Structure 1
Amino acid sequence: MESMTLKFNKRKQTSAITFLLAGCLGFGSIAGAFGETPPASVQIKEFSLLDTSSDIVGAADFTPEGNKDGHFKLRLSLAQNTVINSVVLRSTDAYGKDNYQGVWRTNHVTTGWLLGIVQDKTVTSSSGTSHESIIINPGFRKDVKEPVGEFEGELNLDLYATDNGTIKETQFYVLEILTPQGTVVSKPIKYKSPMTTGESTGSTSPTPPPIPTPQIPTPVPTSDNPLIHVLFNGQELQFDQVSPVLKDGSTLVPFRKLFETLGFEVQWKETDGSQKAIGIKDGLRIELTINSTTAIVNGKNVSLDVPAQILNGSTLVPLRFVAENSGYKVSYSRNGSEATVRIDAADEAPNTPTPTPSPSPAPIPDPVIEVAEPYVVKGYVRDAKGQPLPDIVVFADNTMLYDSNILGVTDESGHYQIELPQIATSWHMGADITKSFNEMDYTFHLNVDKDLPFSGSTGAVRNFTWSKFDGMIYIYPNFTSSDDSLPEFDMSDLEITLTPAGPLLDGSAGRTITKRGGPISNGAGIDQIPIGRYKATARWVPEGHAPISLQISDSTGKYAATVEFEFGPPVGVSTTNYLAELNVKIP
């Protein structure tokens, strides 16, 4: 009996490869452009969506990036040697009409994400037959004129489309194969609804075997490489793509499965040539940099015995380190060629970072039920947490006489009361709050909770709540690049991340904010940012490209990877448009 093995080589295909594309397009395939005749020598034998659980490619290169891929199968036949200029996958409706939800391709023939192609190449030798998986395109081909390659004969291909948020088994997809002779377009397919056609007339070739998925084969249990079972609270975890491995005395497991099992939100980041697997939950943040023996737990460096690493295309992380730093107890047992790792809730979690206790806030006074009195307006001024705000100027505006106001000031409990003249008129309430922050005063107008005018003869109760103290940031791009593969800059592709560098204007800790740029009042940038001091970073995330870290500067013009800034005076006479200005550029 012939032996069959699988090898997955991550290398560029530089010579002519037998790619499989041929025949007239069967099963209702159509030409890709009006008036265009599909090449008669190209035939799609099968196109189907196998699963949505792989993680083989990223947005622009053949690297796992933490998002699941759409894994497609493609069988093609080429009756003659043919150049394939590009392959494009589109999400469509059931009739093949583009729904503009996602496009994946092999080069910059259009916008979109990488469509990774793996060829299943049959190798016959004296010892038998083996299958070798070869990556056709490790990344985008920058020049639109650079073809995928020159191919002939029968091929089995795996296609991988990284999830941009629209890869799902209920979605329809259409594949386009561009050649100098014309474009071949498949029928729309979705999961468990493949496009297939019979073998071409007179063909004596047997049906090719199923395309193997490039993954780490399940290791054969040995004394040095045991079969590892991982149990979480008594239930065994199932690892679909890669099995746990023992390396240098540490158990490594797929990072997404472990993090999500432990209740983390998972992130994958690539910056300045480094790759990070990140888990975030309930005040705990664990960062593991690929191939680094230093992890970061809640901002503090922690040493690792074995680093997180990518093995055969999959990201693996040290199980014990992640679990114990998440507050769990880990135990390991071995019986011959099998081992069991148990993750259980711990009575105590000594390795879990203990957050620094915050000072207890002053108790919030119980609300007092006010009753309206004739020719009196009264109420409370409080912040968003219900704390009283003293020394706030409150004014009653006479709606009959222009610029005729009566002022009042809140006491220590945030209460005010204003006596109104006994005249036949109505009143409207307002207030202003001024707060100092780093030697600058910021003034905001407060709107009353019940923003309605009232008659002086009936009086009223009008309370105020201070909840908004926002500013805005103008952003000026300084983009000059000789890389023709990059698209034109669009402000909506600019991502700004702001991390508070201390308490905000209202004394709260604030939170990290990530926003995309866009039009704002009299300019472009981001708005609705609570006043405070921030550390800012910037990334350019154009569609179909890996994110590009940008340099950033404030008014000093000194560019760096990060910059700290504060908000300056407002734009014009408004007290709601306090302004900061930042510049960004490609390094």
Structure 2
Amino acid sequence: MKTIFLSILALATMALSSCSKTKDPVEPGPTDPLRPGYVSGKVVDAHGNPIAKANIVANNTQFYNSNILGQTDANGNYQLQLSPGSWYVRGSVKVKYENQNYVLDLFTEDDGAFAGTEGAVKNLKLRISGERTGNFGDDGFYGGQIEVFGYLNFFDTDNVELTLEPVGPLVDSNTGQKLTRKVSGMYIEDVPLGKYNVKARYVPENKPLKVRVRNVGTFQNTVTALFEPSYPGATGRYKLNIEVSE
């Protein structure tokens, strides 16, 4: 009797096993919460709208030029599968502005290294001004740099003040504000990226100066200028060279 009971139990177990199927592992979606072995997140613009086709890079902190590349989908989401190790995330987006192509670095929230085996959620935002995170060589500002040069016998550029009035929306489509900045060591840092009408004043004498984009055209009371790559082929860093004359 005992033998018959065990046989029936075995048959029942086999029948139940045949009715259940083992599911293949499901890849986590971009909007899923933290998952070991993956980094995921969302990229948004200055208005909180998702950015599609933003480039995302997971960089390995231990091995040079060891990275994993990806892009955001139509909803601004991304997900990258990682190997064991220490990683951090960077991103960039291409923007068309004033018929020029800009490649803008994205701000990574909660920026820092994480273990690939543990995974992470790293969201990114578009910023055209403000201080960078300072991590992994990401120093400086998201805004543009202005370098001011004196013309002929005018050398006292540290006593020059520029007035910058936006011409239309800025690169991030926000409305800019009129800025008045004094030069320091030939530079003005972190100006929101955009197109500006630029005027100059010599502060000690409260005297207007003539201005132009360096080595371009003639000196005028006002020059309209656009930020350009810091050097040919540069991405993420933009500059404006202004020349002043009495």
- Which TM bucket (shorter chain)? 0.7 to 0.9
- 1:477 is aligned to 2:150: yes
Partner of 1:408: 70
SS of the equivalent of 1:492 reads helix
1:324-364 deviation per Cα after TM superposition (whole angstroms, max 9, x unaligned) = xxxxxxxxxxxxxxxxxxxxxxxxxxxxxxxxxxxxxxxxx
SS of the equivalent of 2:158 reads helix
Give me the TM-score of the superposition, normalised by structure 1: 0.32
Which residue among 500, 524, 548 is the counterpart of 2:207?
Answer: 548
Which residue among 105, 113, 120 is the counterpart of 1:445?
Answer: 105
> 1:573: how far off?
7.0
Change (3 A) 1:378 1:541: same
Q: How does 1:81-92 map to 2 (within 5 A)?
A: none
Give me the TM-score of the superposition, normalised by structure 2: 0.74
> Does the aligned pair in 2 maintain the 1:471–1:576 contact within 8 Å?
no
- 1:539 is aligned to 2:201: yes
Q: How does 1:289-438 map to 2 (within 5 A)?
A: 371-421=33-83, 424-438=84-98
1:452-490 deviation per Cα after TM superposition (whole angstroms, max 9, x unaligned) = 22222221111112213422222222365xxxxxxx863
> Does the aligned pair in 2 maintain the 1:393–1:433 contact within 8 Å?
yes
Separation in structure 2 between the aligned mates of residue 409 and residue 398 of structure 1, nearest angstrom: 18
> Does the aligned pair in 2 maintain the 1:472–1:529 contact within 8 Å?
yes
> 1:540: how far off?
0.8
Separation in structure 2 between the aligned mates of residue 408 and residue 579 of structure 1, nearest angstrom: 28
Separation in structure 1 between the aligned mates of residue 197 and residue 245 of structure 2, nearest angstrom: 17
Q: How does 1:547-566 map to 2 (within 5 A)?
A: 547-554=206-213, 555-566=215-226
Of Structure 1 and Structure 2, the greater helix share is in 2
SS of the equivalent of 1:518 reads coil
Root mean square deviation, CA, Å:
2.4
> 1:557: how far off?
3.4
User: Stretches of 4+ moved more than 6 A in 1?
Assistant: none
Q: How does 1:90-109 map to 2 (within 5 A)?
A: none
AA in 2 matched with 1:453: A
Of Structure 1 and Structure 2, the greater strand share is in 1
- 1:499 is aligned to 2:165: yes
Which residue among 125, 136, 146 is the counterpart of 1:465?
Answer: 125
Higher relative contact order structure (alpha carbons within 8 Å, sequence separation ≥ 6): 2
> Does the aligned pair in 1 maintain the 2:31–2:41 contact within 8 Å?
no
Change (3 A) 1:576 1:431: closer
1:228-251 deviation per Cα after TM superposition (whole angstroms, max 9, x unaligned) = xxxxxxxxxxxxxxxxxxxxxxxx
> Does the aligned pair in 2 maintain the 1:393–1:409 contact within 8 Å?
yes
> 1:451: how far off?
1.4
> Does the aligned pair in 2 maintain the 1:394–1:409 contact within 8 Å?
yes
> Does the aligned pair in 2 maintain the 1:504–1:532 contact within 8 Å?
yes
Change (3 A) 1:500 1:445: same
AA in 1 matched with 2:114: F
AA in 1 matched with 2:169: P
Gaps of at least 5 residues in structure 1 are 1-367, 481-487
> 1:495: how far off?
1.0
Question: Structure 1 vs Structure 2: percent identity of aligned residues?
Answer: 32
> 1:440: how far off?
2.0
